[in-house]
Structure 1
């Protein structure tokens, strides 16, 4: 029988500005490397970072809930000048956070 994947809880936020800047820079670098370095990537990374920081300041530490919040709030973002969507951005944020925590995201491990 398959076991459910346990939730991943991020450590409490220590420095909102530093975490927001880290996510913005890291996400923009990922976006630029994944397809093309486009000016819209900076706006996407900035918006995702704002959502992330606000959610964390409101006490949200569950990674799954953070991903859902990013998907939901990024739906209002105009992705027409980008190769990305709100789902790609939320998944990228999740992957970047897991990498930063040293959690292997391969194969459901």
Structure 2
């Protein structure tokens, strides 16, 4: 029988604004590196960081829930001037957070 994937819980946030700024900078760097730098990348990174900060300020520590919140709220964003979409952004945020926690994003270990 297969084992369910364990949820990943972030440590409680001591400074959500600082976390948000780190995420904005990290996500922008990822966006600009993955394809080509575009002006819209700054707006995407800022919006994703805002969602993340709000969720953390509301006490959300579960990585899966944070990813779902980013996907859901980014659906309202106009990605027509970007190579990306809401799922790519949420997945990138997840990868960046896993990396910051020292968790291998490939195999979950």
Q: TM-score category by the smaller chain?
A: over 0.9
Q: For 1:83-102, what aligned pairs fall within 5 Å after superposition?
A: 83-102=83-102
TM-score by length of 2: 0.97
- 1:3-14 equivalences in 2 (<5 Å): 3-14=3-14
Segments of 4+ in structure 1 off by > 2 A?
A: none
Alpha-carbon distance between aligned partners in 1 of 2:31 and 2:60, rounded to the nearest angstrom: 25
Question: What pairs with 1:21-36 in structure 2 (closer than 5 Å)?
Answer: 21-36=21-36
Gaps (5+ residues) in structure 1?
none
Q: Does 1:48 align with 2:48?
A: yes
Q: Residue 9 of structure 2 aligns to a residue in which SS?
A: coil
Q: CA deviation at 1:17?
A: 1.6
Partner of 1:69: 69
Separation of aligned partners in 2, 1:78 and 1:45? 13
> Partners in 2 of 1:106 and 1:31 — Cα distance?
19
Cα separation, 1, equivalents of 2:30 and 2:107: 21
Residues 67 and 59 of structure 1, relative CA distance in 2, 3 Å threshold: same
User: Per the alignment, in what secondary structure is the counterpart of residue 107 of structure 1?
Assistant: coil
Cα RMSD after superposing both structures: 0.8
What is aligned with 2:103?
103
Per-residue CA distance 1:51-95 (angstroms, 9 max, x = gap)? 000001001100000000000000000000000000000000000
